[in-house]
Amino acid sequence: MSESMVGQIAVVAGGGSGIGAASARAIAAKGAHVVICDLRIDNAEKIVAEIKAAGGAASARLLDATKEAQVHEVINSIHADHGAIHAFVNAVGITGPTGIAAHLLKTEDFVNVFNVNLFSAIYMNAAVLPHMIKAEYGRIMHVASISGKDGNPNMAPYSTSKAAMIGFVKATAKEVATKGVTINSIAPAVVRSPINENTPEEVMKYMISRIPMGRIGEASEAGEMIAFVVSPACSFTTGFVFDLSGGRATY
């Protein structure tokens, strides 16, 4: 099957920066019209402008993925406007508190991170899946993290939320495996992205020290992998966690 996505509609939540933006660019380069959803509409519109300048097709939507009703409203509106949603990328996420041991955190520290990193994924899955099941075709990709496999010390809320996301992907993928819909995730090691701008230096050094390649990943590397996974070519893989860790986790 072809990697071309000409004629397809792809939605990228959290597409205004970092891995989401890189994914939007890579998917647009395959020929899809990309709808970039972000909490910051100015960021989304900036990426839309970049894609159009490169000859691609894109549009922007405001989305607070932690608001369940809004998620359904926006997804249904996109589907109504374009007649289909062939691919969906969830790149919404925050690191939450870093550099602090779990037993020193408050319960709300975990709750806040779970609201953004896990429950938003649940909302978006529930909103987009009925359209894909009806069409008997769809590709969903959730951006997890290597910390969801390995666990990063002093990043318990983030690591725990991403581990939960991986479990969610594995379970839901099996539920729709015969419906023409795939659901996968990607587990990047530390990537050059705005999400890491406030991560303490010692935490960054620890994460890079675990990478056999000895370097930080680039958002563009994640974007290219994600674009392949949500293309028609990736048709016999579902419930999988794609490695993007420079060799840190090869399982």
Known catalytic residues?
Answer: 158
Which single residue is written with the structure tokens 């090869």? 250
Instruction: Note whether 231 and 182 are within 8 A (CB).
Output: no
The secondary element (H helix, E strand) that includes residue 218 is: strand 217-218
Tell me which residue of 32, 112, 127 sits closest to 77, measured CA to CA.
Answer: 127
Q: Which two tokens stand for residue 108?
A: 């709300």
CA distance 231 to 132: 14
- Scored b (16 or more CB within 10 A) or e, 12-42 reads bbbbbbbbbbbbbbbbbbbbbbbbbbbbebe
218: Cα separation from own chain's centroid? 15
Residue keyed to tokens 């602090």 = 100
Region of residue 33 (phi > 0: left; psi between -120 and 50: alpha; otherwise: beta): beta
Question: Could you tell me how far CA 202 lies from the centroid of its own chain?
Answer: 26
| Three-state DSSP state, 224 | helix
